[in-house]
Amino acid sequence: MPVQAATDIAWVWPSSDAPAVADYQTIAVLTDTLLLKGEDITRQPRRRALALWDARVQVIPVVHVQSMPNSPDVFTEVQRKAMLAALDRAVAGATAGWVQLDFEAPSRQREAYLALVKMARQRLPASVRLSVTALASWCLQGAWLDRLAADEVVPMWYRMGEPVAQDYPALHARCRGPAAGFSVQTPPKQAVANRFTRRFWFNERNWVADPVQRFP
- Calculate helix-pair angle for 110-123, 77-90, nearest 10 degrees: 40
The predicted pLDDT at position 133 comes to 98
Q: Tens of pLDDT along 130-160? A: 999 999 999 988 789 999 999 999 999 987 6
Instruction: Render the burial of 19-35: b for 16+ CB within 10 Å, e for the rest.
Output: bbeeebebbbbbbbbbe
User: Three-state SS for 189?
Assistant: coil
Cα separations in angstroms, 133 against 20, 140, 180: 24, 15, 9
Segment 38-51 shows an average pLDDT of 86
Most confident of 43-52, 71-80, 133-142, 206-215: 71-80
Residue 143 or residue 79, greater confidence: 79
Name the CATH superfamily for 7-65+76-163+170-198: Glycosidases (3.20.20.80)
Segment 156-179 shows an average pLDDT of 82
28 Cβ contact list (under 8 Å, min separation 6): 9, 10, 11, 12, 59, 60, 61, 62, 100, 200
Q: Tens of pLDDT along 178-210? A: 999 999 988 888 888 899 999 999 998 888 765
Per-residue pLDDT band for 161 (boundaries 50, 70, 90) equals low
Per-residue pLDDT band for 71 (boundaries 50, 70, 90) equals very high
**pLDDT over 80 (residue 215):** no
**pLDDT over 80 (residue 66):** yes
Average model confidence (pLDDT) for the chain? 89
The predicted pLDDT at position 90 comes to 96
